[in-house]
Amino acid sequence: MFARRVHMHLKPNSVAEFTQKLEKDILPLLRKQQGFQDEITFVSHDGREGFGISLWDKRENAEAYNRNSKDSRTKSRSSAMTAGKGSESVCGTKGRMPRLTTVELTQK
């Protein structure tokens, strides 16, 4: 099993918008992807950071989703999301793509 870690900064007072966008746009898109298993999302206590983990059956499926859906994700992103310095700018001048990492999960 593989996990994709996504970290993003949220604009102040935007947790409700972020949550709505996740439930109505992002999760339905993920559920249609081959190999998608589940999604776990966290928001920091102050509401300024979000962290998501999506679980996939194979690395190839996680990476295929990442390659094939970049345009869809960009269009469906909430204006509530921004990411770290140097990230691609979308959704106006302050919005940026979240940082993504794919890792293999092992059982010990």
Which tens digit of pLDDT belongs to each residue from 2-15? Answer: 998 888 889 888 99
Q: Which two tokens stand for residue 44?
A: 């920091």
pLDDT tens column, 23-39: 999 999 999 999 999 99
Per-residue model confidence (pLDDT) at position 101: 72
Q: What are phi and psi of 43, to 5 degrees?
A: -125, 135
Spatial separation of the C-alpha atoms in residues 39 and 58, rounded to whole Å: 15
Right CATH for 2-104 from 3.30.70.100, 3.30.300.30, 1.10.3720.10, 3.40.50.720:
3.30.70.100
pLDDT tens column, 58-83: 999 988 887 876 655 454 455 555 54
> Do 43 and 65 form a contact (C-beta atoms < 8 A)?
no
Spatial separation of the C-alpha atoms in residues 99 and 87, rounded to whole Å: 8
For the residues 11-20, what does the mean pLDDT come to? 90
Q: Which residue has the tokens 């390659």?
A: 67
> Comparing C-alpha atoms, which of 90, 61, 88, 78 is closest to residue 3?
61
